[in-house]
Amino acid sequence: MKKLTLGHSVKSLLLALGCAASGHASADANLIARGEYLTKAADCVACHTTKDGKPFAGGLAFKTPMGTLYSPNITPDKETGIGRWSDEEFLRALHEGKGKNGENLYPAFPYTSYTLLQDDDVKAIKAYLFSLPAVHQPNRENDMPFPFNQRWGLWFWNLVNFDGQRFEPDSSKDAQWNQGAYFVEALGHCGECHTPRNITMGMKDSKAYAGTEIDGWTAFNITSDPHAGIGGWSQEQMVQYLRSGHVDGKAQAAGPMAEVIENSTRHLTDSDLNAMAVYLRSLKPLNPDDETQSRSDWGQPATSVNTLRGMPFTADNNTDGARLYLGNCASCHGFTGGGVQDGYYPSLMKNSVVGASAPNNLINVILHGVSRKTNDGEVFMPGFANTLTDEQVVSLSHYLLQQFGQPALNIKADDVKTLRGE
């Protein structure tokens, strides 16, 4: 029997089709990889994932003065997620703050920053999200009283607070500065947390990056002011902080900023982190409270604890700050507060959490601890919310402030109770 063979032209055609398919698959893989990187840079997982919930399935509560919002499911599930969204609808959401059906989205979703994203980057983010497993999880209804539950009212909010536009490089600046501006202003949307809000909850452009309070934590001033901001930080220190959340003698990230580092900035390239540092260090210096000393410039070694070593606690002195420090803190941070040499247990001197002009972050760290994954491992400090009373937290905080921070700060039990979340 004569063996059948494919003609040369047919072979060529099949080979060409195979190469085209391979090239298309490679292009898709590159797009998804790019989208994964950009999604991490934008820290999407933080807002669209509940504690112990499935990534990007939504349901995280955002308590605002206007009511409680819940983040939506952005997995590719076609019923409860964004599986039926087109590229155009996804672009409109990020660029204009519009939902699939044209409804106004609440600005808890930072479209006021994402509007700067280039179209190709938005499509890459969508490609990555659509490559993930679909999670069938219905979205929770927002708990917004009238009139804030009327989305049409956001038209007025947008009129005052929103200027939809794509990022345009500044021709007077170099490429690295523009690269940093794009990552800070658009992808990282850093201003959303670090900029004070006006009466309508829009960002105060006149005080951009001057610091504010968010969810009980202080998002510090990150302008180039040497006292109130990060003007005393070097380029290398900025990159180190964004990579690890720790700079000896400056700061250790906790709370929401620890999440940003864990989910986002530690995954970025050195090139992008250096560009972000260049841009942040160029921000206009602002010092709204006329601070005269950097928050990382406070503190001296403590000596009071040494006199208490070996002495038992008694019922009448268990709220004494020095004793509380000895019993709960000294084993890690040292009797003098100097921490350990490798910085895993940081020094409490020259520590921005202790030296800040507002005590929120210090109280939050005592209550809730620190948990931060880095590229070198996990940083952990236990919280003492279940072991210390409000009065004991006040006493311990005052001791820490007297020894290592701003002694003039006054903390009350009600402050602790509020941050405890009761």
- pLDDT digit string (tens) for 140-163? 999 999 988 899 999 999 999 999
Give the pTM: 0.88
88-107: average pLDDT: 97
Q: Residue 309: its pLDDT value, please?
A: 59
- pLDDT at 362 exceeding the cut of 80: yes
- In this prediction, residues 237-256 reach a mean pLDDT of 96
Return the C-alpha torsion angle 224, 225, 227, 232, nearest 10: 30
Q: Is 299 helix (H, G, I), strand (E, B) or coil?
A: coil
pLDDT at residue number 3: 44
Which amino acid appears at position 19 of this protein?
C
Q: pLDDT at position 1, please? A: 43
User: What pLDDT score was predicted for residue 315?
Assistant: 43
Q: Where, residue-wise, is CATH 1.10.760.10 in the chain?
A: 303-420
Q: Tens digits of per-residue pLDDT, 20-34?
A: 555 656 669 999 999
User: According to the model, what pLDDT value does residue 4 have?
Assistant: 43
Give the model's confidence band at 302: pLDDT under 50 very low, under 70 low, under 90 confident, else very high: confident
Quick one: average pLDDT of 2-14? 55
On the question of pLDDT at 185 being above 80, the answer is yes
Give the model's pLDDT for residue 23.
60
Q: Looking at residue 16, what is its pLDDT?
A: 62
* Residues 44, 126: Cα–Cα separation, whole Å: 12
pLDDT in tens, 218-229: 999 999 999 999
d(CA 337, CA 331): 10
Arch. (CATH architecture) of 303-420: Orthogonal Bundle (1.10)
How buried is residue 228: exposed, middle or buried, by Cβ count under 10 Å (0-12/13-18/19+)?
buried
Q: What percent of the chain has pLDDT over 70?
A: 90
Lowest-pLDDT choice from 26-30, 169-173, 180-184, 317-321: 317-321
SS3 of 21-73: the string is: HHHHHHHHHHHHHHHHHHHHHCCHHHHCCCCCCCCCCCCCEEEECCEEEECCC
Task: Name the band, by pLDDT with cuts 50, 70 and 90, for residue 2.
Answer: very low
How large a percentage of the chain has pLDDT more than 90?
83
- pLDDT of res. 194: 98
The overall longest dimension of the chain from CA atoms, in Å, is 105
Token pair recorded at residue 340: 């350990």
Q: Look at the alpha carbons of 118, 119, 120, 124 in this order and tell me if their dihedral is positive or negative.
A: positive
Instruction: Report whether pLDDT(11) > 90.
Output: no
Q: What is the pLDDT of residues 120-130, one digit of tens each?
A: 999 999 999 99
pLDDT for residue 360 is more than 80: yes
Is 60 exceeded by the pLDDT of residue 5? Answer: no
Give residue 244's pLDDT band: very low, low, confident or very high (50, 70, 90): very high
pLDDT of residue 343: 82
Residue 311's pLDDT is what? Answer: 57
The yes-or-no verdict on residue 270 having pLDDT over 60 is yes
pLDDT at res. 7: 56
Helices assigned H by DSSP within 182-320? 191-194, 235-244, 255-263, 270-280
**Mean pLDDT across 330-342:** 91
Average pLDDT in the chain: 91
Closest CA to 373 of 262, 291, 277, 255: 262
Residue 17, pLDDT score = 62
Please determine, for residue 86, whether its predicted confidence score (pLDDT) is greater than 70.
Answer: yes
Give residue 170's pLDDT.
97
